[in-house]
């Protein structure tokens, strides 16, 4: 059976002028003959390998991207990608806006390869389905999916660093309890009966993101989802996501989207044409 070669992609029709938005997304299976031009990119790029291999060049060094790995180009990097022989199958997305670089830095995303496992196709499908919509609720769905993807890339499951058990148990606690505003690194360390410094070191070595950064990302991700799906008040959503105050929640969401939660909630209640 012949290999199916394709390039499917979409660009955003909304979001420009905001602090952070998903610029484009796509699903490619390409051969070396389909290599793209080398060019600087004014946006962050993420490439999740599904099959075959991709050759990525940065700072004079060529790296091979294998299935289950993600390549991250930061804002301003030179886009230099070549499919390896016989093919390169991958999904990708890009983010743009004045806050894009800062958000990636806050997540401690390092340029280059991240070992992340099987691609979360459901999240990429959300991007593809909604990125070309003008509806505010669809735009928030795109932001939520992108933030989820970046969080998974920044803090992938797996790894072999020690002490692995403490780091993984800490992540399980955060995933289950981030809605509690009193949850912080001190409380997680207390529950695990370990010193907060030891836990911080183990978590950063395992997931390449601080405990506080991962906790914050979980809260923001759920906040974006609830603003898209829920008719509840901003105060109620802030409380459910674990923010200490609605004021802080407002500042965080405005930084990410360029709009306050109140504005997003009102847009969500507007009837669609």
Name 45's bridge partners: 73, 94
**Is pLDDT at 266 greater than 70 in this prediction?**
yes
Q: What is the mean pLDDT of residues 33-49?
A: 94
Query: What is the Cα 138 distance to its own chain's centre?
Result: 17
What pLDDT, on the 0 to 100 scale, is given for residue 54?
95
| Of 174, 199, 178, 149, residue with least CA distance to 46 | 149
Over residues 227-258, the pLDDT tens digits come to 888 788 889 999 999 999 999 999 999 988 88
Q: What is the mean pLDDT of residues 23-41?
A: 93
Q: What distance in Å separates the CA atoms of residue 113 and residue 222, rounded to the nearest whole number? A: 27
- The first and second tokens of residue 217, run together, are 């990302």
Over residues 163-180, the pLDDT tens digits come to 346 888 888 889 888 999
- The first and second tokens of residue 42, run together, are 């004014």
Q: What is the mean pLDDT of residues 221-230?
A: 86
- The first and second tokens of residue 223, run together, are 């906040």
Kindly provide the residue ranges of all beta strands, DSSP E only, lying in the chain, ordered along the sequence.
6-11, 21-30, 39-40, 44-58, 61-65, 69-73, 78-79, 81-96, 112-115
Kindly provide the residue ranges of all beta strands, DSSP E only, lying in 60-213, ordered along the sequence.
61-65, 69-73, 78-79, 81-96, 112-115
């Amino acid at each position: 059976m012949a290999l199916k070669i394709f390039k499917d992609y979409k660009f955003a029709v909304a979001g420009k002028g905001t602090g952070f938005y998903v610029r484009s997304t796509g699903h490619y299976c390409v051969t070396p003959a389909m290599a793209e031009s080398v060019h600087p990119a004014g946006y962050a790029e993420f490439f999740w390998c599904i099959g075959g291999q991709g050759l990525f060049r940065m700072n004079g060094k060529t790296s091979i991207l294998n299935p289950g790995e993600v390549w991250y180009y930061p804002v301003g990097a030179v886009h230099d990608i070549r499919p390896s022989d016989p093919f390169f199958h991958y999904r990708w997305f890009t983010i743009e806006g004045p806050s894009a670089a800062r958000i990636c830095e806050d997540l401690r995303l390092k340029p280059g390869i991240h070992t992340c496992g099987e691609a979360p196709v459901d999240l990429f499908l959300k991007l593809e389905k909604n990125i070309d919509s003008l509806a505010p609720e669809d735009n928030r769905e795109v932001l939520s999916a992108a933030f989820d993807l970046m969080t998974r890339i920044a803090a992938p499951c797996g790894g072999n660093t020690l002490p692995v058990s403490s780091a993984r148990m800490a992540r399980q606690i955060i995933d289950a309890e981030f809605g509690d505003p009193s949850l912080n690194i001190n409380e997680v360390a207390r529950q695990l009966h370990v010193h907060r410094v030891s836990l911080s070191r183990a978590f950063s070595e395992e997931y390449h993101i601080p405990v506080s950064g991962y906790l914050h990302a979980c809260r923001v991700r759920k906040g974006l989802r609830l603003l898209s799906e829920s008719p509840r008040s901003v105060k109620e959503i802030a409380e459910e996501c674990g923010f200490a105050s609605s004021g802080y929640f407002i500042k965080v969401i405005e930084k990410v989207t360029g709009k306050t939660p109140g504005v997003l909630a009102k847009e969500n209640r507007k009837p669609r044409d």
